C-alpha cells in the first residue's frame, strides 16, 4: 500500500468514526454487519514476543452466504494467499489450516453494552497433533475512542476472557481476546490476543486497521 493510500485510509477512518457517536448516544443495539463481496481491510500485525513476526496483510471478501463469509488473506511480504471462513457474525470457523469447531463465538449480534455470553470451541491444525479447547466469557464492555493507523474511531469494545486446555497433552492456561468493533467499518479496527500460563506468554499480539475499502 502506498503512502497516498494509507493517507486516504486515515482520512476515511476519521470520517467513519463520526456516525458511531450517534449510535453510542442512542444506546441502540448494533446489528449484524451487511458484509459484501469486495469489502476489504488492511491490518498491521504487531507481535509483542518477536518483532521479526510483524507484518501487514490484506483481507478481502470473495464470497458471502446467509451464515458464511469467505475472506482471502494475503501478507504484503508473501505471494501465497490464505482462505479464512467466518460466520456472518464474524466468528471464525477456519483460518488457513486451523479449524475452530464449531466457531469462536466472540460476537453475538445485536451488540449492546453490558451483554455477556459464554463460548466454547476447539482448535486443531491440519497435519499437527495439537488440539485444544477454549472456554471464555465474552462481554460487550462499551464505547471507547481508539486511534489506529487508519484514523480515530469510536468503537464498541468486546472482550473475552477465559482458559484453554490442551486435549492432546495435559496442559493449559489463560487466554484473553479483545476487539474494538466499528459498525461503519463492518469489522474491528483493532484486535488483540494474549495466551499464556502464569507469567509466561505463548502468544501476545495485536492487529490494527491501516486502510479499508467498502462496497
Query: Each residue's pLDDT tens digit in the chain (215 positions)?
Result: 433 344 334 444 434 443 434 456 557 899 999 999 999 999 999 999 998 889 999 999 999 999 999 999 999 999 999 999 999 999 999 999 999 999 999 999 999 999 999 999 999 999 999 999 999 999 999 999 999 999 999 999 999 999 999 999 999 999 999 999 999 999 999 999 999 998 889 999 999 999 999 99
Task: Give, in order, the Cα–Cα distances in Å from 198 to each of 17, 161, 163, 168, 175.
Answer: 37, 15, 12, 21, 11
What local confidence, expressed as pLDDT, does residue 24 receive? 60
* CATH class of the 3-213 domain in this structure: mainly beta
Domain boundaries, the chain: 3-213
CA angle 83, 93, 167 (to 5 degrees): 115
Amino acid at each position: 500500500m502506498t503512502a497516498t493510500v494509507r493517507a486516504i485510509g486515515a482520512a476515511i477512518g476519521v470520517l467513519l468514526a463520526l456516525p458511531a457517536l450517534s449510535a453510542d448516544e442512542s444506546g441502540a443495539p448494533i446489528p449484524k454487519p451487511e458484509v459484501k463481496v469486495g469489502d476489504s481491510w488492511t491490518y498491521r500485525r504487531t507481535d509483542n514476543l518477536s518483532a521479526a513476526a510483524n507484518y501487514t496483510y490484506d483481507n478481502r471478501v470473495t464470497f458471502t452466504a446467509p451464515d458464511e463469509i469467505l475472506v482471502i488473506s494475503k501478507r504484503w511480504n508473501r505471494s501465497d494467499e490464505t482462505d479464512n471462513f467466518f460466520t456472518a457474525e464474524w466468528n471464525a470457523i477456519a483460518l488457513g489450516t486451523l479449524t475452530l469447531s464449531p466457531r469462536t463465538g466472540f460476537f453475538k449480534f445485536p451488540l449492546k453494552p453490558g451483554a455477556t455470553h459464554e463460548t466454547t470451541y476447539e482448535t486443531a491444525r491440519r497435519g499437527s497433533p495439537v488440539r485444544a479447547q477454549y472456554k471464555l466469557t465474552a462481554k460487550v464492555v462499551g464505547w471507547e475512542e481508539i486511534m489506529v493507523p487508519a484514523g480515530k474511531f469510536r468503537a464498541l469494545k468486546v472482550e473475552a476472557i477465559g482458559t484453554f486446555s490442551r486435549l492432546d497433552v495435559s496442559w493449559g492456561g489463560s487466554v484473553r481476546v479483545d476487539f474494538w468493533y466499528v459498525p461503519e467499518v463492518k469489522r474491528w479496527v483493532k484486535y488483540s490476543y494474549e495466551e499464556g500460563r502464569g507469567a509466561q506468554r505463548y502468544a501476545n499480539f495485536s492487529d490494527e486497521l491501516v486502510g479499508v475499502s467498502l462496497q
